[in-house]
Copies of this chain bind each other. A is one copy, B any other.
């Protein structure tokens, strides 16, 4: 059975572009169509041979079997219903980092079952088609949300696609996904952005401060380069969960502050020993 389909990728940047490379390499696509509002990105996507050609969204919907949405989550929420209005039997799949609002907005749509809600847990701090990389997604997790609301054939093709590009599949309700994503992805970005701002603030008085930036600093601040157009809507859509984890994180930081203020070595030791338990998770 050939799994090859004509695939339209809406949003041909880091996420969509990297997927395009894998779809071609794993022989999942017979044709790759790019759709992008950003004309420069569209041009680059063809030039970099990420897609065969680019065209307006409506033409792409007509000429494809699968429509992959790799755009910021605010645009997803506004665009998904209108795409669903236009499809016949095409499969629609999104790669967004938040899922609750999206499955809510499409819940009662007559074509709901042609849609598969997913979140492949891969990304870098870069954006645009030129940052697309080969071998992305390999050995990473992908979450399929509310799988019971999708048609079996759509779900099968999407699951097979993710398996072929080397991902391991997890299924989860959209609400659970958003909670977990706040803890293991969204908060990391906020701490990184805030850390960058902390140090950049100090740099105004201390020019030399970055001369001695170490690998540890680079590792914690790397995500601060991430694209605001992608992250602002994620934080806003996942507001409640993100605020919960952010409050907890500030409370945890305050414990470090207190223990240092009071020179309570024993308490500080306990806080760090507890943090060391992360070894169980991150090898």
Task: Answer yes or no: A1 CB below 8 A from chain B CBs.
Answer: no
- In the complex, the count of this chain's copies comes to 2
Residues 125-156 of A, flagged 1 when their CB comes within 8 A of B and 0 if not, give 00000000000000011010000000000000
Q: How far is the CA of A226 from the CA of B228 in the complex (A)?
A: 31
Known: A197-B275, A216-B223, A263-B236. A210 touches B281 (CB 8 A): yes
Do residues A275 and B121 form an inter-chain contact, with CB atoms below 8 A?
no
Residues 203-244 of A, flagged 1 when their CB comes within 8 A of B and 0 if not, give 000101111111111111111111010011001100100110
Q: A260 to chain B: which residues have CB within 8 Å?
A: 235-236, 239, 242-243, 246
Q: 8 Å CB contacts to B: which residues of A156-192?
A: 170, 172, 176, 179-181, 183-185, 187-192
Q: How far is the CA of A269 from the CA of B191 in the complex (A)?
A: 15
Q: How far is the CA of A261 from the CA of B248 in the complex (A)?
A: 15
Please give me the residue from chain B that is nearest to A276 by CB atom. Answer: B225
Which segment of A17-25, A55-63, A250-258 sits at the interface? A250-258
Do residues A222 and B263 form an inter-chain contact, with CB atoms below 8 A?
no
The listed residue (B179, B222, B246, B281) touching A282 by CB distance below 8 A is B222
Do residues A198 and B248 form an inter-chain contact, with CB atoms below 8 A?
yes
Task: Answer yes or no: A107 CB below 8 A from chain B CBs.
Answer: no
Task: Answer yes or no: A79 CB below 8 A from chain B CBs.
Answer: no
Do residues B197 and A217 form an inter-chain contact, with CB atoms below 8 A?
no
Q: A263 to chain B: which residues have CB within 8 Å?
A: 236, 239
Q: What 10 additional pairs, Cβ within 8 angstroms, besides A123-B214, A191-B253, A228-B269?
A: A121-B212, A122-B215, A141-B212, A180-B212, A184-B213, A188-B195, A201-B248, A220-B220, A235-B268, A236-B268
